């Protein structure tokens, strides 16, 4: 118990240093890889981050290239917040909608070709404890829906042609709370990671918890809480989620138009 408390105090002291100068240094370290980078990034964001419409998209595509790992010219709307920008890799055709927040602190964020992150989604690596597998990787032609939250402490890998509906949460971290004699904040975290394979569709409001793998072509029902692996080409729903059918058992829609 004493050892856990001492370890937590040491971590808390590092996380929240007592002196103003130390706290300022801690803040800067979490925002950029160095003071020069911070000044450059904030200057660009202040000058161009607010510019609306196609003019702003074009200006940011060109001006943000020195601070990002860009392949091609990504489309970045107004009000997008990029933290630790030199650890963000955007491939050709990436689209970041209004209000998106990417925080790539150690581990990085990579978004594949022609993938879209819709408005007010948050992708946060959140690695302040030197976790070995932290990071967020998204394949090509995928879509991260409105107001999604992706936490990458344990590592999140999202495949190709994955669509997440609004309000989905993908959380590769968990608190330990097994000891009732002390606070959960003293008991550490686990960070096993999440893998979502190609061609997965995740319904609105679903929650994907740490340590889960969702197999290729699976469908996750709206509002599901996924706490264990989902086999390929199955439909999982419920709280906690369980497999309710195979994808091949779902009859095609009849009497309604289908659009492509």
Q: Which pTM was predicted?
A: 0.87
pLDDT in tens, 110-125: 999 999 999 999 999 9
Active site positions, annotated: 175
Q: Are 33 and 84 in contact (CB under 8 A)?
A: yes
The structure tokens 């991260």 sit at: 144
Q: Strands 213-214, 219-220: parallel, antiparallel or unpaired by DSSP? A: unpaired
* Structure letter (DSSP) for residue 149: E
Q: Is the per-residue pLDDT at 184 higher than 70?
A: yes
Looking at beta carbons, which pairs linking 178-184 to residues 24 or more positions away fall under 8 Å?
A: 181/1, 182/1, 182/4, 182/5
Q: Are 170 and 135 in contact (CB under 8 A)?
A: no
* Structure letter (DSSP) for residue 15: H
pLDDT at residue 168, rounded to an integer = 98
Q: Is the per-residue pLDDT at 84 higher than 80?
A: yes
- Using a 10 angstrom Cβ sphere, with 0-12 exposed, 13-18 middle and 19 or more buried, the burial of residue 195 is middle
Please indicate whether residue 207 or residue 5 has the higher confidence score (pLDDT): 207
- Give the helix/strand (H/E) hosting 61: helix 53-63
Q: Hey, what's the torsion of the CAs at 214, 220, 225, 231, to 10 degrees?
A: -30
Find the range with the poorest average confidence among 5-19, 51-65, 137-151, 178-192: 5-19
């Amino acid at each position: 118990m004493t050892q856990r408390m001492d370890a937590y105090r040491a971590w808390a002291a590092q996380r929240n240093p007592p002196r103003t100068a130390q706290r300022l240094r801690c803040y800067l370290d979490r925002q950029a890889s160095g003071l020069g980078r911070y000044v450059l990034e904030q200057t660009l964001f202040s000058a161009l981050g607010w510019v609306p419409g196609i003019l702003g998209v074009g200006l940011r595509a060109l001006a943000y290239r020195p601070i990002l790992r860009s392949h091609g010219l990504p489309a970045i709307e107004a009000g997008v917040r990029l933290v630790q920008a030199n650890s963000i890799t955007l491939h050709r055709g990436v689209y970041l909608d209004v209000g998106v927040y990417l925080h790539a602190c150690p581990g990085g964020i990579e978004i594949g070709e022609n993938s879209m992150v819709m408005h007010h989604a948050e992708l946060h690596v959140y690695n302040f404890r030197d976790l070995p597998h932290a990071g967020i990787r998204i394949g090509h032609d995928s879509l991260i829906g409105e107001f999604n939250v992706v936490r990458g402490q344990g590592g999140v890998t999202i495949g190709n042609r994955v669509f997440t509906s609004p309000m989905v949460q993908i959380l590769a971290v968990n608190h330990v709370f097994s000891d009732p004699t002390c606070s959960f904040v003293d008991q550490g975290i686990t960070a096993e990671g999440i893998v979502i394979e190609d061609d997965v569709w995740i319904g609105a409001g679903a929650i994907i918890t740490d340590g889960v793998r969702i197999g290729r072509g699976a469908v996750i029902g709206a509002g599901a809480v996924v706490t264990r692996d989902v086999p390929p080409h199955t439909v999982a729903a419920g709280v906690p989620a369980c497999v309710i059918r195979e994808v091949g058992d779902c009859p095609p829609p009849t009497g309604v138009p289908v659009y492509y």
